[in-house]
């Protein structure tokens, strides 16, 4: 048996409700955070999140951090954000059927005819997990998959008659 040192935690939530004028939702979010910070108007919501593992390492009473990251990778199901959503694309080729399990993702289908971007979710989405998954055909017909802005497991089925993972 191996002995591990693990730092567990939970999020304690604070909030501030402010009103701002802005030209876009992005500008409104930025202004609201600045205003809440400047006015020191944060209040405790008396709500805490689920416990999670922030860092881990082997050894007794060891330091589980190596700089800003965990010494050992924390499995997704124990992390603060939980496992990434699973995206299933079914063909014959996108935009065929789309299924998302365990979160919210933005999906972009790219081919010669058009580019389609949509958001698909399976509530409740994990906090701060909104990756952009781009799937486009390669010259050989296989899918080229790119994930940005988070993590997502992508399963492509029935693309051009062949299963790819």
State whether 65 and 127 are in the same domain: no
Two structure tokens written together for 49: 């999140």
State whether 91 and 74 are in the same domain: no
| Last-in-domain residue among 25, 52, 78 | 78
Confidence of residue 160 (pLDDT cuts 50, 70, 90): low
What is the rounded distance in angstroms from the CA atom of residue 162 to the CA atom of residue 144? 14
Host domain of residue 44 = 4-78
Given CA atoms 30, 33, 37, 39 in this order, what sign does their dihedral have?
Answer: positive
| Per-residue pLDDT, 91 | 58
For 112-147, what is each residue's pLDDT tens digit? 776 666 666 665 445 555 677 777 777 877 777 777
Which DSSP string do the residues of 104-139 spell out, in sequence order?
A: EEEEEEE-SS-EEEEEEE-SSPPTT---EEEEEE-T
What's the pTM value of the predicted model, to 2 decimals?
A: 0.49
What is the rounded distance in angstroms from the CA atom of residue 154 to the CA atom of residue 89? 8
For 17-44, what is each residue's pLDDT tens digit? 889 999 988 889 889 999 999 988 889 8
| Mean pLDDT, all residues of the chain | 78
* Strand intervals (E) in 29-152: 43-48, 52-58, 65-66, 69-70, 86-90, 97-101, 104-110, 115-121, 132-137, 143-148
Question: For the residues 55-80, what does the mean pLDDT come to?
Answer: 89
Question: How many domains does the chain divide into?
Answer: 2
């Amino acid at each position: 048996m191996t002995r591990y040192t693990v730092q567990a935690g939970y999020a304690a939530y604070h909030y501030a409700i402010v009103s701002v004028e802005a030209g876009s939702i992005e500008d409104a979010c930025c202004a609201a955070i600045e205003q809440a910070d400047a006015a020191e108007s944060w209040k405790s919501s008396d709500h805490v999140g689920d416990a999670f593992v922030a860092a881990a390492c082997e050894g007794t009473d060891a330091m589980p951090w190596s700089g800003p990251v965990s010494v050992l990778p924390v499995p997704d199901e124990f992390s603060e954000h939980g496992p990434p959503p699973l995206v299933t694309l079914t063909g014959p080729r996108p935009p065929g059927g789309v299924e998302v399990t365990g979160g919210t993702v933005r999906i972009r289908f790219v081919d010669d005819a058009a580019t389609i971007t949509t958001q698909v979710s399976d509530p409740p989405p994990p906090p701060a997990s909104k990756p952009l998954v781009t799937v486009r055909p390669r010259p050989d017909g296989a899918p080229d998959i790119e994930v940005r802005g988070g993590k997502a497991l992508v399963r492509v089925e029935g693309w051009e008659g062949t299963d790819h993972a």
